Amino acid sequence: MRMVRTAAAVAGLVLVPSLASAQANSPAPPARDAWYWGINGGALLFNAGYDQDVKVTAPSVGGEWFIARSRFALRVSVLQAFFDKQAAVYDPTVTGAARPVDVKDWRRYAVEIYAMPYSDGFLTPYAGVGVALNVLQSASPVGSFVSEESLEDVFLTVDEYSSRASLVFAAGAQANFGRSALFLQGSAMPTRNAFLLNRSQYTMQFEGGIRYSFGSAIEKF
């Protein structure tokens, strides 16, 4: 027993300084002045467009490039939401003057700028604004047409309303683990006008994911 206690004491004397040294020499989390690649998943929330009472929660996946500096960050992202619903466009030749349109999937390309006023090295909250291009991946009018002119008018309207640029208001937080980071964020886009899915005053997006830092955002000479 005395030999065991002696061995344990020696091991403690050796390991404790080694662990302390390793912790002291480990790189600090690159919360700022770093650039990341990331992937995320979440949900896009909106009303269907043909019936304002139909609320849609569409699952989404995406990828991003996130560049963090000392007080600001830039995010370039692409996101795809998956759903299959029905919207409508104006057509005076059908009952109710609303032509049904089958709509499937939503892709969003966005560029956002965030302010990061505070970070304790582990948790970094941020908020900002940006611009997004929203593109519906499939939009097909339903039913028969009374004339070739009516068909052309409807298809032109559907094509025009299948994409829309909008502002993005976003806020989130990032937790840093060495070069990796986990994040959660939410955003809102005003999409009320000139869009097939126009029953929602704001389209909401909630997402979470992981980012990995591949280097510094500052060039050193």
Would 7 be classed as within a structural domain? no
By percentage, how much of the chain surpasses pLDDT 70?
Answer: 81
Q: Mean of the pLDDT values across residues 201-221?
A: 81
Tens of pLDDT along 8-62? 444 444 334 443 443 344 444 455 678 999 999 999 999 876 666 778 999 999 9
Would 21 be classed as within a structural domain? no
Instruction: Report the predicted TM-score, pTM, of the whole model to 2 decimal places.
Output: 0.79
pLDDT of residue 142: 92
Q: Mean of the pLDDT values across residues 127-154?
A: 94
pLDDT of residue 201: 85
For residue 78, give its domain range.
31-215
Would 207 be classed as within a structural domain? yes
Which CATH number goes with the domain that contains 51?
Answer: 2.40.160.20
Quote the tokens at residue 173.
């937080």
Nearest to 125 by CA among 113, 136, 115, 134: 115
